[in-house]
Structure 1
Amino acid sequence: MIKPFTKRSQNREVRLTFYTRILLLFMFVGNKTFAQQSVIKYVQPFSGTSASTTLASQHIEDKTERLANTIPAVAPPFSMTQWTPQTQLSEKKCLAPYYYNNKKFYGIRASHWISGSCTQDYGSFTIMPISGKLKTSPTDYAVDYTHQGEVATPAYYKTILPGYNLQTEATATLRCGLIKITALKADSVYLLITPNSDQGKGYIKIDRQRGEISGYNPVHRIYQGWGQPAGFSGYFFIRIKKGFTRSGVFSGSNVSAHQSIQNQTDLGAYMGFKLQKGESISIYAGTSFTSIAAAKLNLETEINTASFETVVAKTSRVWEQSLGQVKVNDPNEKNKRIFYTALYHAQQHPRLFNDVDGGYPQFAGSYIKKTQTKGNYYDDFSMWDIYRAQLPLIELLKPDLTNDFANSLVLKGQQGGWLPIFPCWNNYTAAMIGDHVTAFLASAYNKGIRGFDVKEAYRLMRQNAFQMPDSADYLNGKGRRGINSYLKYGYIPMEDSIPDAFHKREQVSRTLEYAYDDYALATVAKDLGKTADYKQLMERASNYKNVFDQQVGMARGRFANGSWYKPFYPDRRESYITEGTPRQYTFYVPHDMPGLIKLMGGSKNLENELDSLFDKKEYWHGNEPGHQIPFLYNYTAAPWKTQLQVSHILAEEYDDGAGGLSGNDDAGQMSAWYVFEAMGFYPVDPVSGNYQLTSPLFTQTVISFNNGKKLTITAIKKSKKSIYSSKIIFNGKPFTKNQITHQSLIQGGKLIFYLQDQPATP
């Protein structure tokens, strides 16, 4: 189904979309200065929608790992709903709504797919235009899909369907979409609107006199509580600015003149029109997670009767402002495209969940709540992935939004009784390991982002760290998996198989990540004067030592009696490691590198072990647990090796075009990694508020912070090949450290790196 994306077609796609985007901005915005300064033109929404073509991906044996599973989302940053061309039916797990090389087009989907994930869409619906005779079965109405004349930006999408002689365009606001269908010849035209339920559920109704269609697609949980109702639906309200001559409903190929249908397989509604050549239909669609009435209010508030061009221009400006917080200057246009595409991907999630009037579905419940503050309520936190870099990037650039995220998480804990581990579908999931909502809240707090109820946050974080839920709550996904074993032994022994989780076993990885979360909570406890908690949590932060076997020099499975699991294979996938090997996970001690170095026998041994990992090609960038590894050379006498390895990763793991990502983007984490590295620093330990330095990618980077300060990062290179830092000047003074603090960065100024071709070794 998905064919390789060739270099020739890749280059052609880049040229095509590059020039059409520029023309589009001139046409819709009409402001020459704005167009000249535009950075939105660099974004490639198709990146990650094809099998990877990066250099690194050529060595991946598991071909499923070569799919990044992003979508060409049209919507402002962090929207409720993303609008995407649909080339893949269903809401099945690990199937994105769109793949670049699929050959059939099924419409424009109002999607809640978590970008770059292996989860599933939910509460979605699709609008498909066809011409000629009415067809209602997907196998009949699907049309051949080509990229000829196609345009995609974060604010606008256009495609031409030659089989139907129809031009389809889409744009969006935070909660609403606007689709424009233009006839390229006179013909009968039908709109098919389908709630995308895989369970034969849902509802749709037509009000022919008003030209309105409304309905919903019920949401169901996955992971813990798999298949159970999630307590809410994806609701929609559609208004069509043109009277239709015919309408009805269908279930598959069975068509009826009725004006509503409910809970049938492949259900949908159709509207018929007579269009002359050049005539258009405008489809105004509001979405909500609370009700059809709320979807209507969202539409009337955000778009109302605004023209298509007005919405495109407004959403383009929103993206321009958001992307423009980081301006890069460099002759390498390809790297700019990769960078701004990464910044676009890093601003898809978490997802806005409340309506314009503040209404949102209660977390893990069925009641409608109203936000009590000026901020918004968010969900779809792919927390195991994004606490590492994607959320820290938001903390750096958008602290006000970070407060909304933190408030949302505390609300979830209050409404559901326990702080969630991996809150998606507005429910508990226990999908991954760790307790990294705690790490995120501590990270924000330690950076001075404190516009949330810190005392209540601490209560909830502490409950997760010290208590075991009752059996019913635990089975529902609440609390840390394996917490009793962890508290009893100081690690999770091999005997505890963690049966009540999607990821079972993985005992060593859980131990390592809980130790980090304990450290994170300890930092807050100390600041709040919780001395006893602080001391106990800091002791537990050393629990990583309990699964470190000094005889083999790595993390290793351990039984309750203290003996080690045999045999030991350092470079094989093991059941006690999450998505990796013992060698890879051994380096996950971001909070206590001095302690890990001591266990390893000194910094030189750490350097040797890192060398071995990279020499063996055991570094796996396509998954998150090792994202900090290249920066660990900064803790040795060879920080230049960080600069070397990072430059290799930037060049080999990211590329231009639809195949530009090496693996799942995981809600923007892979992309946020690129953004940080290109700027020249990375949060190995986000909770600490420190960033490890490396060489910046661009000649100049200007970061605009929301406090009004600007930081200019300059790379002065001896040649194009210069990647090694020989000297750093920060605000006019020599800077000799390998790390820099969050507070130093947001005060702005000038950070200058002098780079050379060879490392400055002792």
Structure 2
Amino acid sequence: MKIKFLFFFILVVLLVGCHQQPTISKAQKEKSLTSYVNPFIGTGGHGHTYPGATLPFGMMQLSPDTRLDGWDGCSGYHYSDSEIYGFSHTHLSGTGVSDYGDILLMPTNKVIFNNGADGKEGYKSKFSHEQEVAAPGYYKVFLEDTNINIELTVAERSGIHKYTFPEKEKQVLIVDLEHRDEVLDAKLTVDSNTEISGYRHSKAWATNQQLFFTIQFSKPFTKVTFLKDKKEGKQVKAAFEFDENTGNTIELAVAISPVDVNGAKKNLQQEIAGKTFEQVKKNAQQVWEQQLEKIVVEDASNDNKVNFYTAMYHTMIAPNLYQDVDGRYRGMDLKVHETNDFQYYTVFSLWDTYRATHPLYTLIEQERTNDFINTFLAKYDEGGIMPIWDLAGCYTGCMIGYHAVPVIADAYMKGIRNYDTSKAFEAMKHSAVQDKLGLESYKKYGFIPVEKESESVSKTLEYAYDDWTIARMAKALENEEDYKTYIKRAQNYKNVFDPQSQFMRGRFRNTWFTPFDPYEVNFNYTEANSWQYSFYVPQDISGFIKLLGGKKQLETNLDKLFTANDSTSGRHQVDITGLIGQYAHGNEPSHHMAYLYNFVNKPHKTQERIRQILTEQYTNTPDGISGNEDCGQMSAWYIFSSLGFYPVTPASNQYIIGNPLFKKTTIYLENGKDFTVVAHHLSTENTYIEKVLLNGKLLDRTFIHHQEIIEGGVLEFFMTNTPSEWGTKEGQEPVTSIDEYEIVPAPFIAKGDIAFKGSTKLTLENVDKEATIYYALNEGNFLKYTTPIQVSEKGTLQVYAEKNGNKSATITTDLYKIDPNVTIDLQTTYANQYNAGGKNALIDGVLGANDFRTGTWQGYFDTDLVAVVDLGKEKWLEYIQVNFLEDQRSWIFLPTEIEYLISSDGKTYTTLTKTKLHTTEPRENVSIEKVGYAFKGKTARYVKVIAKKLGNLPEWHLGYKHDGKSWLFVDEIQIR
């Protein structure tokens, strides 16, 4: 009897167990995954993608060029265009700066070298989207003006053009090496009547891009004509004519190399020699199918699957292979190197991609992640530092942070370590100890003062996160000394947090930058305003919550973020798009914010916002991406978020749970295991999570670990139509917290003027209310601060704070006394973002530096400067000087005319001098023009300065095509 009962009990347990852990099948594809990819998504709006043929992470991007320049011409193609200039072999995907577009080929029916951009007859042709096809590894279009059908396909470093001409009509191929960016040097060599080769060295974003090529024709040309008979130089174009009686189809096999022509020929020989167009196309499609199969989704919505697989496609376009088949590549020193130990890449848009794209690669591209890191270390050896944004062997000097660092730390913490880890750690620290880009101040003060470096708030915040990832790796390497150093630096975000406004703000001469408007886009932030950077503390969200005053305050601030007015003030910033309140999904600093509700135990609010973003900001249309695609980051956000989780803090090994979009998804891992995500009861109404099971067990936390995915298994979401209690209890939330080596933030001047008349009272405060503040005037002894400091003379103020024996940095501020009798009447209006300290900025004794972004210049946009200085009484005058900044690349021009006038009564003025300046002459360098006028001496009380704006930018300036207007930057009216 007991045996029967025991058997019955075991059976019940097994049945219950089977019920609790149902067998979940893997997601299966219904048809070819490449059929879901729509390469036209992102080619409209501001997505800046291209529709042409490329392979995953390939060197060649063979695509049509419909636009030669401009913000929305960065990829060379925009969906709103109706004319094609030709087909070039390199393109950037989703970036914000134009480059590439190398080696343009265009079939036509006459010998003509003008591209037609000037409105005159040219080789460009009209086309329509109705006769255009794009798919992974393949592109097709019909040229209406010449009735030529174009097909393109690619291998990794090579590709094939297939042109079908009308029968018995003239067949001409234009090879244009001048197309697109500035040519430094080019050469075209005719090797035979079926083969040409050459090179193109150019300058744009990459200051010295060297590209070599070879082209083989499927039939011999009968005649070649060179523009101006030049085969090399800066204007190399050639027209090749073919016999129309020998067939109406021509195929061109093209290969490129960053090394030399021989490299290009080897690439062609190994990849496509002897293969037909259809063979190369079929292989390209197979390669893409295998890539896309790394994640398989099941869903009833075709548009959702199109958005997903197009996003997968976009994350696999860059970085780009930058190495020939023989292992040679061109390094950051522009010398030729060789390795067969790893594949070498370029196009690392790291400010964007460290957030989600590279974390995605740690799941589905682990071996390639090793190659990426080995590439970073090679670039470190070749160029002296790891890249921030590299392109074709060049440092572009673009964007902020040192974000190769978190890519390495994230991979290392996840066990991806097929590289020299000691060298990697050395290179990480090397990036952090430089003195450029504000780092000198950052290391000294724990933040970057506004007057020392532009974009100071964003740089401080992003450096602090990067430093945390160094600390994480130091801890893993059992290096306590480096851990201590960098975990302290990871807390520097506290130094730019203003406790009164609860925003991250610039510290200008140790005061808060004023007047402050969180909606204002200004030089304190990178492509953003204070709203869009004030939640960026992914490494210490617990510490951030403490600064705010608790979880409820962070929740409130997030609610305000998503419901704020959806317009910005200040500078027009084209990157700020996809606004939901002040959350800007079209730009990367906002990407983690919707997930922060999980950290305050309000996961249902994360679920609401994630579903909103997934369904509203991504559509199956050409403008279906709300901002620049940015080499995969916009798409990586979609991939992670649609799976149901997101890496808010790369290198933490946590993924924060959001809201799954698909009924079933399976990630096929490189270790042979798979991880399946299932959403039960999912519908348009059931958008909230009721409960979650991980491998059949209830998951009582709102995050999962990287290792839980890598080990394989099943994550089940049970969806409902109302918010549930899941994840709302204390302890169920994700946590990032810095609990050791707490720093003492530096005190700031909360009230009072550093440039004053008569006297001022300076009130000091600290973010940490428990810290004791000390101060010293004019390098005297330090005193404990208890009450506001009365200051009546010019001098210096030094401050620091101390707590539990730990001291903050010491901050020194120069104090300026303005002659109390002198006043200024600004009769024209300056831009608030360039106020230089306010209405007295031009008479406060503080001179502007060479960088306009440091806040020491007063800026006037498309406005004359008219200012009257009242000296308080009549004085004997002999000299007047005003300083102006010239930085033409930033649209800052000198005035066309400067007039100095004087008056005794403020009504009747006498002109002393009018000076005309050569404003429109192009100049590369930034300079300060000191416009002084010495005269024999006159008595006057009032001095008027009139500086006439340039207004419309000159025709040679990049901004001219955008109806650009000029800025006047002025500082310090000096009267003696």
Which residue in the other structure is 2:286 paired with? 317
Q: 1:213 and 2:196 equivalent?
A: yes
Which residue in the other structure is 2:693 paired with? 729
TM-score (norm 1): 0.86
Given the alignment, which residue of 315, 319, 322 partners 1:353? 322
**More displaced 10-residue stretch of structure 1: 135-144 or 750-759:** 135-144
Q: Is the 8 A contact 2:189 2:197 kept in 1?
A: yes
Matches within 5 A, 1:749-760: 749-760=713-724
Cα offset for 1:417?
A: 1.8
- Seen in structure 2, the aligned counterparts of structure 1 residues 560 and 464 have a Cα distance that, compared at 3 Å, is farther
Cα offset for 1:155?
A: 1.2
Cα offset for 1:94?
A: 5.6
Q: Deviations over 1:378-403 (max 9, x none)?
A: 11111101100111111110100000
Q: 1:329 and 2:298 equivalent?
A: yes
Larger Rg: 2
Matches within 5 A, 1:674-713: 674-713=638-677
Which residue in the other structure is 2:459 paired with? 510
Q: 1:417 and 2:384 equivalent?
A: yes
Q: 1:156 and 2:138 equivalent?
A: yes
Q: Is the 8 A contact 1:123 1:234 kept in 2?
A: no
Which residue in the other structure is 1:288 paired with? 257
Which residue in the other structure is 1:462 paired with? 429
Q: 1:611 and 2:559 equivalent?
A: yes
Cα offset for 1:444?
A: 0.8
- Separation in 1 of the partners of 2:434 and 2:365? 33
Q: 1:89 and 2:68 equivalent?
A: yes
Q: 1:664 and 2:628 equivalent?
A: yes
Letter of the structure 1 residue corresponding to residue 606 of structure 2: T
Q: Is the 8 A contact 1:165 1:185 kept in 2?
A: no
Q: 1:119 and 2:106 equivalent?
A: no
Q: 1:489 and 2:458 equivalent?
A: no
Which residue in the other structure is 2:838 paired with? none
**More displaced 10-residue stretch of structure 1: 307-316 or 198-207:** 198-207
Cα offset for 1:302?
A: 0.5
Q: Is the 8 A contact 2:308 2:639 kept in 1?
A: yes
Matches within 5 A, 1:365-384: 365-373=333-341, 375-384=342-351
Letter of the structure 1 residue corresponding to residue 202 of structure 2: V
- Separation in 1 of the partners of 2:315 and 2:670? 18
Q: Is the 8 A contact 2:347 2:392 kept in 1?
A: yes
Q: 1:535 and 2:518 equivalent?
A: no
Q: Deviations over 1:645-697 (max 9, x none)?
A: 00111111111121111111111111111111111110000111111011210
- Seen in structure 2, the aligned counterparts of structure 1 residues 215 and 348 have a Cα distance that, compared at 3 Å, is same
Letter of the structure 2 residue corresponding to residue 303 of structure 1: I
Cα offset for 1:108?
A: 1.5
Q: Deviations over 1:525-577 (max 9, x none)?
A: 1111211110121111111011111111121111454x322222122213211
- Separation in 2 of the partners of 1:288 and 1:575? 39
- Separation in 2 of the partners of 1:203 and 1:339? 41
- The alignment-based identity, stated in percent, is 39
Q: Secondary structure at the match of 1:345?
A: helix
Q: Is the 8 A contact 1:204 1:213 kept in 2?
A: no
Which residue in the other structure is 1:44 paired with? 38
- Seen in structure 2, the aligned counterparts of structure 1 residues 707 and 99 have a Cα distance that, compared at 3 Å, is same
List alignment gaps of at least 5 residues for structure 1. Answer: 1-33, 52-66, 469-479, 499-504
Q: Is the 8 A contact 1:171 1:177 kept in 2?
A: yes
Which residue in the other structure is 1:598 paired with? 546
Q: Is the 8 A contact 2:181 2:204 kept in 1?
A: no
Letter of the structure 2 residue corresponding to residue 137 of structure 1: N
Q: Deviations over 1:167-221 (max 9, x none)?
A: 1100001000101111233211111111235435443434363411112110326
Which residue in the other structure is 2:174 paired with? 192
Q: Is the 8 A contact 1:94 1:118 kept in 2?
A: no
Which residue in the other structure is 1:235 paired with? 212
- Separation in 1 of the partners of 2:693 and 2:158? 47
Q: Deviations over 1:309-332 (max 9, x none)?
A: 100110101000101111110110
- Seen in structure 2, the aligned counterparts of structure 1 residues 215 and 208 have a Cα distance that, compared at 3 Å, is closer
Q: Secondary structure at the match of 1:158?
A: strand
Given the alignment, which residue of 402, 413, 416 partners 1:435? 402
- Separation in 2 of the partners of 1:582 and 1:720? 34
List alignment gaps of at least 5 residues for structure 2. Answer: 1-27, 117-121, 565-580, 729-976
Letter of the structure 2 residue corresponding to residue 262 of structure 1: E
Cα offset for 1:405?
A: 0.3
Q: 1:586 and 2:534 equivalent?
A: yes
Letter of the structure 2 residue corresponding to residue 219 of structure 1: S
Q: 1:640 and 2:622 equivalent?
A: no
- Separation in 1 of the partners of 2:260 and 2:304? 43
Cα offset for 1:704?
A: 0.3
- Separation in 2 of the partners of 1:547 and 1:114? 35
TM-score (norm 2): 0.68
Letter of the structure 2 residue corresponding to residue 549 of structure 1: D
- Separation in 2 of the partners of 1:200 and 1:618? 41
- Separation in 2 of the partners of 1:689 and 1:639? 19
Instruction: Report how many aligned residue pairs link the two structures.
Output: 677
Cα offset for 1:142?
A: 1.1
Which residue in the other structure is 1:572 paired with? 520
Which residue in the other structure is 1:549 paired with? 498
- Seen in structure 2, the aligned counterparts of structure 1 residues 721 and 278 have a Cα distance that, compared at 3 Å, is farther
Q: Is the 8 A contact 1:91 1:122 kept in 2?
A: no
Q: Secondary structure at the match of 1:517?
A: helix
Q: Secondary structure at the match of 1:455?
A: helix
Which residue in the other structure is 1:343 paired with? 312
Higher fraction of strand:
2
Cα offset for 1:263?
A: 1.3
Q: CA RMSD in A?
A: 1.9
- Separation in 1 of the partners of 2:31 and 2:716? 24
Ranges of 4+ aligned residues in structure 1 off by more than 4 Å: 90-94
- Separation in 1 of the partners of 2:433 and 2:258? 34
Given the alignment, which residue of 592, 606, 615 partners 1:651? 615
- Separation in 2 of the partners of 1:536 and 1:693? 32
- Separation in 2 of the partners of 1:278 and 1:728? 64
Letter of the structure 2 residue corresponding to residue 593 of structure 1: I
Letter of the structure 1 residue corresponding to residue 336 of structure 2: I
Q: Secondary structure at the match of 2:266?
A: helix
Q: 1:301 and 2:270 equivalent?
A: yes
Q: Deviations over 1:284-311 (max 9, x none)?
A: 0010111111101100000111010100
Cα offset for 1:35?
A: 10
Q: Which has the bigger relative contact order, CA under 8 A and spacing at least 6?
A: 1
Q: Secondary structure at the match of 1:588?
A: coil
Letter of the structure 1 residue corresponding to residue 474 of structure 2: A
**More displaced 10-residue stretch of structure 1: 569-578 or 319-328:** 569-578
Q: 1:628 and 2:592 equivalent?
A: yes
Q: Is the 8 A contact 2:413 2:653 kept in 1?
A: yes
Q: Secondary structure at the match of 2:192?
A: coil
Q: Is the 8 A contact 1:201 1:262 kept in 2?
A: no
Q: Secondary structure at the match of 1:388?
A: coil
- Separation in 2 of the partners of 1:47 and 1:663? 12
- Separation in 1 of the partners of 2:249 and 2:241? 13
Q: Is the 8 A contact 1:49 1:71 kept in 2?
A: yes
- Separation in 1 of the partners of 2:190 and 2:232? 15
- Separation in 2 of the partners of 1:91 and 1:273? 35
- Separation in 2 of the partners of 1:320 and 1:298? 23
Letter of the structure 1 residue corresponding to residue 358 of structure 2: L
Q: Deviations over 1:450-488 (max 9, x none)?
A: 0111111111111222343xxxxxxxxxxx511110011
Given the alignment, which residue of 134, 156, 169 partners 2:151? 169
Which residue in the other structure is 1:263 paired with? 233
Q: 1:203 and 2:186 equivalent?
A: yes
Given the alignment, which residue of 637, 640, 650 partners 1:673? 637
